Amino acid sequence: MTAALGAIAILSEQTTGLLRTSFAAVPARRELLAAKLAVVTAVATGFGVLVASVSFWLDEAMLAGKYGGVSIADPGALRLLVASALLAPVGALVGLALGAVIRHSVTTMVALFALLFMVPMFVRENTHFGAVVAHAQPFNAWARLGLVGEITGQPYPSSIGGAWAVYLVWAALAALLVMIAVPSRDQ
């Protein structure tokens, strides 16, 4: 969902021509894009924190009596809460980057769906190449951050540090792509 919102943040200006107006009003294109990246990241992070926190505490309120509940201090609980909150800005930045590169609403949404949902479904971790591709996906990184302990029984298990690195790399590459693609194309 936040990936679509990130894409809309740039596509709404590109498709209506307002991006050129923004660039005319603020000739410092990179600074304008950096501000857009900062706003999208801040809004998506706030959204992610809100949704992850409310979800955790509502689940606790509903399930604590029947299943004993999970404390925020339990192993892996805080890590999963933070990972869930940070998945929103990563998705928003990926959407913003794809929107900046593709510049067409429907095509961007299809590409987002394929990249973030279809690729992880079809990649298998039984080969080294498949494991590398699977572990490099944001959703798989989020799933790994939700596990407590080490993974056994897989030939190429992912790591917690590697999962955090996936978040960082996807966000950084998305921001870099926006900063490179937009100023050079929108004259």
Q: Where are the alpha helices (DSSP H) in the chain?
A: 2-16, 18-25, 29-67, 77-102, 105-113, 119-122, 128-135, 138-145, 160-185
Please tell me the distance from the alpha carbon of residue 48 to that of residue 96, in angstroms, as a whole number. 16
Please tell me the distance from the alpha carbon of residue 177 to that of residue 171, in angstroms, as a whole number. 10
User: How many Cβ atoms sit within 10 Å of the Cβ of residue 96?
Assistant: 31
The predicted-structure confidence for 86-102, as pLDDT tens digits, reads as follows: 999 999 999 999 999 99
Q: pLDDT value at position 77? A: 85
Q: pLDDT value at position 185? A: 66
Q: pLDDT value at position 106? A: 92
